[in-house]
Amino acid sequence: MKILLTGATGYIGKRLLPLLLQNGHEVICCVRDISRFQYPALSKEHVKVIEIDFLEPESLINIPEDIDAAYYLIHSMSDTSVHYDSMESASAVNFISRLQLTSVQQIIYLSGIFNDKSLSKHLSSRKAVEDILHSSCIPLTTLRAGIIVGSGSASFEIIRDLVDKLPVMITPKWLNTRCQPIAVSDVLEFLSRSLLNPQTYRQTFDIGGPDILTYKEMLRGFAKAKQLKRYIFTIPVMTPKLSSYWLYFVTSTSYKLASALVSSMKVEVICHDNRINTLLEVKPISYSMALSRALEKIQQGVVISSWKDALASSRFHGNMNQYLKVPKKNCYIDRRKRAIVNRENTIERIWSIGGETGWYYGEWLWNLRGFIDKLAGGVGTRRGRTHKNALSAGDALDFWRVVYADKKQGKLVLYAEMKLPGEAWLEFKIINNTLYQAATFRPRGFLGKLYWYSVLPFHGFIFSGMLKKVAD
């Protein structure tokens, strides 16, 4: 069967694609930036990639007419725009308008559980998209999930940050809200088994695990899985805004995502029924088992996807290729070079930079810069990296974004996502037996020039030390 997969570079899409290929389907992957797409091993003959922006109707002409089914996995909750709800609705309208001209037999949409008449902006947006998709004559299957637990999921990473970093937590009262978490592996099972199953046509299902827990119980469950002793106290006076800042400063999440999550976490998300479990013969695993599997994946270094790598939470606007060519005109550039002894070892050190490995030299200054960025409303350094020694275009790397990564060529280009009065790039490239390192800054007005000269004294210390450690 020919399956259309939207959101193919997103958290769920990256994990669903190998499963669809394993089941023998041909998959058409819709991506906003084709340079970010990584083909699963030995699958090129079964995968076609098309570049589409669902906010631009003319780009949807690239969708072939002979598709059998389509997955709609587009969400913009972490988008920096305050109008993400209208953007989501517009995308759904454009999607339906195009698909009505194809032979598609089914649309599968992953949505959120609604249990309250007063919905958060995030859940209201999901509901609006669901209504738009349902308005067409194409059979729609809606799967509504609450908290998704898996390595790299936003919910899991927030829980992980809180438990790992805070022995004592003074928390908002919404931590007593109940929810029904579900393992990402079970979400994928429901998505794949619903495909072209007539019993799921024009149906809406709530999907969840067997445990109904409060968020406080979920934190305690994680602490138990990590064998950590944690004390959690809730107070009634923490406002939604303070709660959002609490999540933002303690965890790796952005403020926009923290705010959206806080609004949603005040509402119970419990499944109305579990009839789909019997219908599709899926037996969801427990919360503790989901945690165990996620921690095992992290320990093994085989995290397939992470919410932090989504471009919706980045500073990028448009195609990432426009940031690939590092400018020279009207820029300040710190260039350095050093002979290398072993090319393979040097490349491995470059590809392991940041995250838990750190930046090899002047680590306290990197941490200080990240802290200042967090105070200014930036991403800080808490995002870390998804993989310990693998990098691909589009990956988040502390407060940088990978725009180019070619290990054979020995070239890595990073674009700064920290708050800056300008734009910054950090580039490593190996030519013959020499490592070239360049930090480029394109200032924006007088403040940009002032910023460059204020940090200039630290460059000789940080960049020369980093180059030496990487090259030796």
pLDDT, tens digit, 9 for 90 and up, residues 130-176: 989 999 999 999 999 989 999 888 888 888 888 988 899 888 888 88
Count of alpha carbons within 13 angstroms of residue 435, beta-carbon side:
27
Average pLDDT for residues 47-76, to the nearest whole number?
90
Q: Is a pLDDT exceeding 60 seen at residue 246?
A: yes
Q: Measuring CA to CA, how many Å separate 458 from each of 365, 417, 435, 464?
A: 9, 20, 21, 10
Select from 215, 230, 106 the least CA-distant residue to 164: 230
Domain boundary among 276, 307, 338: 307
**Each residue of 415-457: pLDDT tens digit?**
998 889 999 999 999 999 999 999 999 999 999 999 999 998 8
Q: Which of 172-176, 220-224, 407-411 has the lowest mean pLDDT?
A: 172-176
pLDDT at 390: 86
pLDDT at 10: 87
**Each residue of 293-303: pLDDT tens digit?**
999 988 887 78
Average pLDDT for residues 251-267, to the nearest whole number?
73
Whether residue 398 is found in the same domain as residue 301: no
Domain boundary among 239, 274, 307: 307
Counting the structural domains of the chain, the total is 2
Question: How big is the chain, counted in residues?
Answer: 472
Burial class (CB in 10 A: 0-12, 13-18, 19+), 358: middle
pLDDT at 466: 94
In a domain, 316, yes or no: no
Domain CATH for 430: 3.30.530.20
**Each residue of 3-49: pLDDT tens digit?**
999 998 888 999 999 999 999 999 999 988 887 787 776 677 889 99
Whether residue 115 is found in the same domain as residue 144: yes
Whether residue 270 is found in the same domain as residue 387: no
Whether residue 20 is found in the same domain as residue 142: yes
Residues 129 and 88 sit within 8 Å (Cβ to Cβ): yes
In a domain, 240, yes or no: yes
pLDDT at 424: 94
Whether residue 428 is found in the same domain as residue 369: yes
In a domain, 454, yes or no: yes
Whether residue 395 is found in the same domain as residue 285: no
Average pLDDT for residues 42-71, to the nearest whole number?
89
In whole numbers, what is the pLDDT of the chain averaged over residues?
87
Q: How confident is the model at residue 231 (pLDDT cuts 50, 70, 90)?
A: very high
In a domain, 15, yes or no: yes
**Each residue of 289-347: pLDDT tens digit?**
999 999 998 888 778 887 777 655 555 555 666 677 898 899 999 999 999 989 999 99
Distance CA 370, CA 376 (A): 10
**Each residue of 361-382: pLDDT tens digit?**
989 989 888 888 888 878 777 7
Whether residue 138 is found in the same domain as residue 49: yes
The better pLDDT of the pair 80, 386 is held by: 386
**Structural domain of 331:** 324-471
In a domain, 60, yes or no: yes
Q: Measuring CA to CA, how many Å separate 142 from each of 139, 237, 242, 270, 430?
A: 10, 37, 34, 16, 49
Spatial CB neighbours of 353, under 8 Å, sequence gap ≥ 6: 359, 360, 397, 470
Distance CA 56, CA 338 (A): 46
Select from 52, 179, 67, 64 the least CA-distant residue to 114: 179
In a domain, 435, yes or no: yes
Whether residue 297 is found in the same domain as residue 210: yes
Domain CATH for 153: 3.40.50.720
Residues 21 and 40 sit within 8 Å (Cβ to Cβ): yes
pLDDT at 371: 86
Domain boundary among 252, 280, 307: 307
Distance CA 132, CA 101 (A): 16
Whether residue 333 is found in the same domain as residue 299: no
Q: Is a pLDDT exceeding 90 seen at residue 204?
A: yes
The better pLDDT of the pair 348, 171 is held by: 348
In a domain, 256, yes or no: yes
Whether residue 28 is found in the same domain as residue 128: yes
pLDDT at 440: 95
pLDDT at 300: 82
The better pLDDT of the pair 418, 106 is held by: 106
Select from 270, 256, 258, 257 the least CA-distant residue to 146: 270
Q: How confident is the model at residue 95 (pLDDT cuts 50, 70, 90)?
A: very high
pTM: predicted TM-score of the whole model, two decimal places: 0.84
In a domain, 292, yes or no: yes
Whether residue 41 is found in the same domain as residue 144: yes
Q: Is a pLDDT exceeding 60 seen at residue 196?
A: yes
Per-residue b or e along 365-385, where b marks 16 or more CB atoms closer than 10 Å to that residue's CB: ebeebbeebbeeebbbbbbbb
Whether residue 395 is found in the same domain as residue 454: yes
